[in-house]
Amino acid sequence: MNGGGFILAINLAVAGLLSASFALVAVYDRKEMAARWIACCYAVGALYYLVEFSIATFGSPRLAIVASFATFLVAMALFNVGMARKYHVPVPWRLLGVVFVVSVVACYSIQDMPRQSFTRMLYYQTPYFVMQAIGAWIVWKARARGRLDTLLMWLLAASSLQFLSKPFLSYFLGGTGLTAQQYIRTDYALFSQSMGTVFAMAIALLLLVILARDILTGVTALSETDSLSSLFNRGGFEHHAEIALRMAERRGTPLALVLCDLDHFKAINDNFGHASGDSVIKRFASFLHTAAEHHLAGRIGGEEFAVILPGTNLTAARLFAEGARSAFSGLPISGLPDSQRVTASFGVAEYAAGETLSELLIRADKALYEAKKDGRDCVRLAFTPPMPGRPGISTLPH
């Protein structure tokens, strides 16, 4: 087997393996639609290499060349659909369709031109450039991009440019052969297929890493989320609260903690059933999620919740707690009589420099205890201690 044919064989095997890899990702995470499209992309890519192998067996390869071209273009279009699904960008169906139809017609039309023609090569490679550039544009349009996503965008852009470089490479490497059958034995075929393999592997491996990153992020988020309230569970809340405390310490900005406890929750379960109790938990969690949209909220106990307010001092945190207490007490709860209202008690503490999260939680919890002792449905403040180990509690009424 000659060099070009050997590289084609490698590309065929690689395309099959990549298709299987993305298919496994799709099976593992059934919500990951991008992996399905990209698995199809590489499956069609494997078909393209089979068509390339078969071209040498045709006496008149015109239709085979167009079929090969169209197959690879379909694979690139499927890749772009996968990219759009991955980055939540509207799929440019019309653009992809127009590029495909115009390109296939142009490919068929240029078959009468000399194979060594620079113009013919440019017409042949430009659609590939456009399709790959669309992929880079899709990633660029994404609302959120991490470093790996940005790297993927630039890699796709570089890959698109390598298609435009091929007419020049053909000129310097002695051409593509006088016939389609000779192409596979040329130095150009060896170099072109090798360069395509390098870019295809780099893009595919980077994309696999990105998908794996997203799966791990999803698994981590799931492990940190309370299933009933959809807020952070205690472990998730403490993890993110520790990060928030370190940032506040580093930046020298205030931070406050608000602990909330639903009043007479056991009585709600006893009188109206656990389903109604779950409704109360969900309603309060939804309320907290809305009220503290840009803050950290978690369910850290049965009916106990916590909110970290970065950039917020004690006075502002008290206003937040008072507003939350007043607003929630007026909300109707599904599963409870219209006349039945649920209240909550609040303890508020501001972070003191050098304090641990555990110490901050203890101070806020003592303030919450004061609120419960003072009749519930009120807010109590834990003043910053004058020295370590001596927490202070306010007895200010709501």
Mean pLDDT in residue range 282-303: 87
Q: Are residues 197 and 263 in the same domain?
A: no
Q: Identify how many contiguous H helices and E strands the chain contains and give both numbers.
A: 13, 6
As a whole number of angstroms, the distance between CA 39 and CA 212 comes to 15
Residue 6 has pLDDT above 80, yes or no: no
- Amino acid identity, residue 280? V
Q: Are residues 266 and 311 in the same domain?
A: yes
pLDDT at 287: 87
| Range with lowest mean pLDDT among 3-7, 140-144, 345-349, 361-365 | 3-7
Task: Give the chain's mean pLDDT.
Answer: 84
Largest CA distance in the chain: 95
Higher per-residue pLDDT: 336 or 7: 336
Question: HEC states along 118-181?
Answer: HHHHHHHHHHHHHHHHHHHHHHHHCCCCCHHHHHHHHHHHHHHHHHHHHHHHHHHCCCCCCCHH
Domains held by the chain: number: 2
Mean pLDDT in residue range 111-123: 80
pLDDT at 214: 86
Q: How confident is the model over 72-101, as pLDDT tens digits?
A: 999 999 999 999 999 999 999 999 999 999
Residue 263 lies in a domain: yes
**CATH number of the CATH domain containing 301:** 3.30.70.270
CA angle 334, 335, 341 (to 5 degrees): 70
Residue 228 lies in a domain: no
Tell me the CA distances in angstroms from 288 to 216, 285, 342, one per residue in order.
27, 5, 14
Mean pLDDT in residue range 130-138: 96
What b/e string do you get for 56-95 counting C-beta neighbours within 10 Å, with b at 16 or more? beeeebeebbbbbbbbbbbbbbbbbbbbbbbbebebbeee
Q: How confident is the model over 164-188, as pLDDT tens digits?
A: 888 777 666 655 555 555 555 565 6
Residue 393 has pLDDT above 70, yes or no: no
11: containing domain: 3-223
Q: Are residues 328 and 290 in the same domain?
A: yes
Q: Are residues 38 and 113 in the same domain?
A: yes
pLDDT at 217: 80
pLDDT at 103: 95
As a whole number of angstroms, the distance between CA 145 and CA 124 comes to 32
Residue 59 has pLDDT above 60, yes or no: no
Residue 241 lies in a domain: yes
- Amino acid identity, residue 68? S
Q: Are residues 212 and 289 in the same domain?
A: no
Tell me the CA distances in angstroms from 152 to 145, 147, 159, 187, one per residue in order.
10, 9, 10, 29
Residue 398 lies in a domain: no
Q: Are residues 318 and 203 in the same domain?
A: no
Residue 34 has pLDDT above 70, yes or no: yes
Q: How confident is the model at residue 397 (pLDDT cuts 50, 70, 90)?
A: very low
pLDDT at 81: 96
Q: How confident is the model over 360-377, as pLDDT tens digits?
A: 999 999 999 999 999 999
Q: How confident is the model over 303-330, as pLDDT tens digits?
A: 999 999 999 999 999 999 999 999 998 8
pTM over 0.75: no
Residue 305 lies in a domain: yes
Q: Are residues 142 and 249 in the same domain?
A: no
Q: How confident is the model over 204-241, as pLDDT tens digits?
A: 999 999 998 888 887 877 788 888 988 999 999 999 99
Q: Are residues 152 and 253 in the same domain?
A: no
pLDDT at 396: 46
Q: Are residues 254 and 345 in the same domain?
A: yes
Q: How confident is the model at residue 124 (pLDDT cuts 50, 70, 90)?
A: confident
pLDDT at 372: 92
CA angle 180, 184, 185 (to 5 degrees): 115
Mean pLDDT in residue range 42-70: 75
Higher per-residue pLDDT: 203 or 198: 203
pLDDT at 227: 86
Q: Are residues 239 and 111 in the same domain?
A: no
Q: Which of 223, 252, 279 is the last residue of a domain?
A: 223
Residue 390 has pLDDT above 50, yes or no: no
